[in-house]
Amino acid sequence: MHTHRHSRFFLWALFVPLVALAPSGGALAQTKYPDHPVKVIVALPAGGSVDMIARSLGQKLNASLGQPFIVDNRAGASGQIGMPVVAKAPADGYTLTVSPASFLTTNKSIFKTLPYDPEADFAPVSRLVNQPMVLVVKDKAKYPTVAALLAAAKAAPGRLTYASSGDGSPQHLAGLMFETRTKAKLLHVPYKGGAPAVNDTLAGSVDAMFAVMPEAIPHVQAGKLHALAVMSPQRSPALPNVPTMAESGFADLSLSAWIGLFAPVKTPRQIIDQLNRAVQAALDAEMKAKLAENGMEVSASTPEELQQMVARDLKLHAELVKAAGLVPQ
Per-residue pLDDT of the chain (329 residues; tens, 9 = 90+): 555 555 444 444 444 444 444 444 444 345 699 999 999 999 998 887 899 899 999 999 999 999 999 999 999 888 999 999 999 999 999 999 999 998 999 899 889 999 999 999 999 999 999 988 999 999 999 999 999 999 999 999 999 999 998 888 889 989 999 998 999 999 999 988 888 999 999 999 999 999 989 889 999 999 999 999 999 888 998 899 999 999 999 988 888 789 999 999 999 999 999 999 999 999 999 999 988 888 888 999 999 999 999 999 999 888 888 877 777 87
Nearest to 100 by CA among 39, 47, 168: 168
Helix (H) or strand (E) holding 189: strand 187-190
Q: Collapsing DSSP states into helix, strand and coil, what is residue 187?
A: strand
Those residues with Cβ within 8 angstroms of residue 89's Cβ, 6 or more apart along the chain or in another chain: 95, 264
3-state secondary structure of 216: helix
| Amino acid 12: pLDDT | 44
pLDDT of 9 reads 43
The single-letter DSSP state of residue 222 is T
Cα gap 158→226, rounded to integer Å: 22
pLDDT given for residue 20 in this prediction: 42
Question: Which residues are bridge partners to 134 per DSSP?
Answer: 211, 230
10 Å CB burial of residue 203 (0-12, 13-18, 19+) is exposed
